[in-house]
Amino acid sequence: MKVDVRDNNVEQALRALKRKLQREGVFREMRARRAYEKPSEKRVREKQEAVRRARKAQRKQMQREGLLPMPKKKEIPQRPRPAQSA
């Protein structure tokens, strides 16, 4: 994994690295590997995750077909612009 540091802005590069790690699931993997997980618990967890993914896919499909309303878009508040002096 590679993150470019522009203009010696290390904080921005760290944020970008954290985002990439989050997307790849590294943090979730680290948390899962902290303690031993019994094979039976692993099967139960994976089954629950599969059910959750299937329900989400079904919900998205129904929204695309118009059977369910689309989720409301989050409105980003606009920052007030400074008044321009003439």
Please tell me whether the overall predicted TM-score, pTM, comes out greater than 0.85 for this model. no
Query: Are 37 and 43 in contact, with CB atoms under 8 Å apart?
Result: no
| Confidence at 53, pLDDT banded by 50, 70, 90 | very high
In angstroms, the CA 45 to CA 31 distance is 14
Domain coordinates of the chain in residue numbers?
10-64
Checking if the pLDDT of 9 tops 60, the result is: yes
pLDDT number for residue 42: 93
pLDDT tier, 61 (very low <50, low <70, confident <90, very high otherwise): very high
